[in-house]
Amino acid sequence: MVRPRVALLGTPRVALPSLEALASLQSLDVVITGPDRPSGRGQNLIPSPVKTRALALEIPIFQPDDWSSPATQETWRSLKVDLAFVIAYGSILPPWMIDSCRLGVWNLHFSKLPRWRGAAPVNYAIWKGDEEAGVSLMKISPTLDAGPIVDYLHRPITLGSDTPGLLEILASDGAQLIEKHWSALTHGSCSLMDQDDQKVTWAPKLTKACALLSPQQKAIEIHRQVRALQPWPSVEFHLDLDILKIRSVGLMKLSSLAPGTLSWSHGEGVWLTAGDGYAVEIVSLQRAGKGIQAALQALQPWGHQGHKSLLPS
């Protein structure tokens, strides 16, 4: 049997474990990744993490700007890809491209499908209080995240789980799924499970509006929101004329202060009292134009200790 030609389509760090797995199998012929993006004060073009690693591994790279262009179609067809894996690529793939791969186009989706279809599955799993998150290896179909599933793995969500950390774990789990089913994938013999459309939930793309802090929520809801919305958009609040982002949280405890009160001192640390009478420990903050700081350090412009209401006056 002739070895199938394999492509990986991915852009951010979350695709790197799968890239490494395919490279270790000596079965990665081309990497498709997003265009280099301007970054920093000088707006210099920066390659994606996937491109950087593919260059180091001397794997051919293709960076299409527009999948509908004749030039992109011609280049793709010249690659003669039989089997493709999509991990956080960042663009919707056209039907002609999917149909061109005789062994299919497969996606690692970071949820236990059909729960949390959409752009931000790990964020929503944490935010909405799920007990576990997962990664599914699925066949791409015309409907978003609706294709049949090969297999999945899941991990518990704890009070210490945040989106970047959980994604890193699930990315490695996803690479293991590809390795586990490699023989069936390359022989076109995967057993597939249809998704239950009655159990679908959606995780839409995050927006800046998600960052709004409502101190009248329960403490556990604030805790989840902060952990879910890292690194962007990150929960934020106004303190006088400044905007501060909450970067990490710690313990929760009963509080005698009014809901919405932010209190801080060197003896006690920084706490935000929620609407249910419990307070959330604020571990780190980020002021506009500054790096991430320990919460007490970030609050030094307002004094070594104090308390302020974050509710509208």
Phi, psi (degrees; rounded to nearest 5) at 20 = -65, -40
Pairing of strands 83-87, 132-139: unpaired
- Report the C-alpha gap between 151 and 153 in whole angstroms: 7
Q: Long-range pairs for 81-84 at CB < 8 Å and ≥24 separation?
A: 81/5, 81/6, 81/7, 81/29, 81/30, 82/4, 82/5, 82/6, 83/4, 83/5, 83/6, 83/7, 83/185, 83/186, 84/6, 84/7, 84/8, 84/9
**pLDDT higher than 70, residue 313:** no
| Positive or negative: CA dihedral 120, 125, 126, 128 | positive
Q: What is the pLDDT of residues 268-299, one digit of tens each?
A: 999 999 999 999 999 999 999 999 999 999 99
The one-letter code for the residue type at 127 is W
Strand pairing partners for 280? 252, 272
**pLDDT higher than 90, residue 1:** no
Q: What is the pLDDT of residues 173-226, one digit of tens each?
A: 999 999 999 999 999 999 999 999 999 999 999 999 999 999 999 999 999 999
Dihedral of the CA atoms 6, 187, 138, 55 (nearest 10)? -20
CATH numbers and ranges of domains, the chain: 6-203 (3.40.50.170), 208-309 (3.10.25.10)
**pLDDT higher than 70, residue 13:** yes
- Report the C-alpha gap between 113 and 122 in whole angstroms: 12
Percent of the chain at pLDDT above 70?
A: 99
pLDDT of residue 181: 98
Q: What is the pTM of this model?
A: 0.95
pLDDT tier at 258 (50, 70, 90 boundaries)? Answer: very high
Q: Is 98 helix (H, G, I), strand (E, B) or coil?
A: helix
**pLDDT higher than 70, residue 12:** yes
SS (H, E, C) 20-87: HHHHHCCCCCEEECCCCEEECCCCEEECCHHHHHHHHCCCCEECCCCCCCHHHHHHHHHHCCCEEEEE
pLDDT of residue 40: 74
- Report the C-alpha gap between 239 and 272 in whole angstroms: 13
Mean pLDDT for 247-260 is: 98
- Report the C-alpha gap between 187 and 174 in whole angstroms: 20
pLDDT of residue 312: 79
In the block, tokens 């752009």 appear at 119
